[in-house]
Amino acid sequence: MSSDSINVPDKVETPHFLKTLGWAAGAGALGLVIGGLTGRLSDEKALTEVAKAYSTPSVKTIHLTTLKEGEILRLPGTLQAFNNAPIYSRVNGYVKRWLFDIGDKVRANQILAEIETPDLDQQLEQALADLETAKAHANLAEITAKRWKKLLLTDSVSPQEADEKNGDFVAKRSIVTAAQANVDRLKALEGFKRITAPFDGIVTTRNTDIGALINAGQQSGKELFTVADQSKLRLYVSVPQIFMGKLKNGMQASLDVPEHPGLKYTAKFVGESKAVNESSGTVLIQLLVDNKDLTLRPGDFANVALTMPASENAVVVPSSVLIYRKEGQFIATLGAENKVVLKKVEIARDMGNLVQIASGISPDDEIIDVPPDSLENGEIVRPVAANSKN
């Protein structure tokens, strides 16, 4: 058969199964492309959300606590003797002897020391002599005045002369009174030759010895002795003025001192200074402590615990929540839509790890603990659970 007789078709028909296979392959490829694009878009969206989440500061929030009934206010205090008297000499002289030393108990009016006063003794002798002379002159003037009064009745003397003699008697009598007063003064000073205790107490200082020269008066040197009544002690405490409205006369406080660890003593609030110290913003209060067994000492440092009544306005927060700015002290609170609200606060008392807030926030506020220094008002934050590590 020749090639001219062979019929070649113009178009070869593609089998049906091949068409189906091609369409399936194309759809699969398109699906892969679409799936890839969708996955990429999803991943980008997820990454965007993650990045946005991590760019938003995460914060931990806490709630405020109020000062509860029985809350303890701890403050330092100083113990002082109920009565404390530095004793000086009222006369000049030399110490003849002393009878009590530091730490000795004394009773009121007991002799602590005796002073030799040779100058005073001579002054008293002279004053006594002057008194006798004045009395003699006054006696003579009295006799003369009486005599001239009788002579006046017989017109032997003039009324002027009689009045002069009577006036001389009155003057001489006044001199006697002055001389007697001088004698009494010197005798009173003689009584100060014996240094005595002004009240029952303990000798806490002795600044003299036998033969020491003594000059009278406080300006002349140190006191000879100091006597302190330690059966009852005064406890002085400086209290922040915000708490003064809660203190009432008669309320109890407890205290301890370093030399008696573990022992507690009771004090009673009896008064306050009625004035605020401008430099510290505190008021000095006074409490009384019974010390009949003399275990406490004047000058002791004391740790004082005052039980304060509850206060609706007294809130306590950790010191870690405070933000310090040039405008003052702020606390960051969590507002609507997790937006930061900075509130300026006034601190009533710094208790170390805790701070009592006087004003600026309320017990209903949710505050941010350990806020970043860069935190700003209105900034959106991401609150996390208190036990979360994120």
> Can you give the pLDDT at residue 307?
84
CA dist., res. 306 & res. 296, Å (int):
19
User: Cβ atoms within 10 A of the Cβ of 67, count?
Assistant: 20
> Can you give the pLDDT at residue 1?
45
Query: Which residues of the chain have a pLDDT value below 50?
Result: 1-6, 8, 11-12, 387-390
Q: What fold characterizes domain 58-69+313-384?
A: 2.40.420
For domain 74-80+231-308, the CATH superfamily is Efflux pump adaptor protein, beta barrel domain (2.40.30.170)
What's the predicted TM-score (pTM) here?
0.57
Domain coordinates in residue numbering, the chain = 58-69+313-384, 74-80+231-308, 85-206
Cα-Cα end-to-end distance for the chain: 89
Q: Say if domain 85-206 classifies as CATH 1.10.10.10.
A: no
Over residues 339-380, the pLDDT tens digits come to 888 888 888 777 677 777 777 887 778 888 888 877 888 888
CA dihedral 361, 362, 363, 369 (to 10 degrees): -20
Those residues whose C-beta lies under 8 Å from the C-beta of residue 374, and which sit 6 or more positions away, are none
> Can you give the pLDDT at residue 136?
95
Provide the pairing of β-strand 58-63 with 382-384: parallel
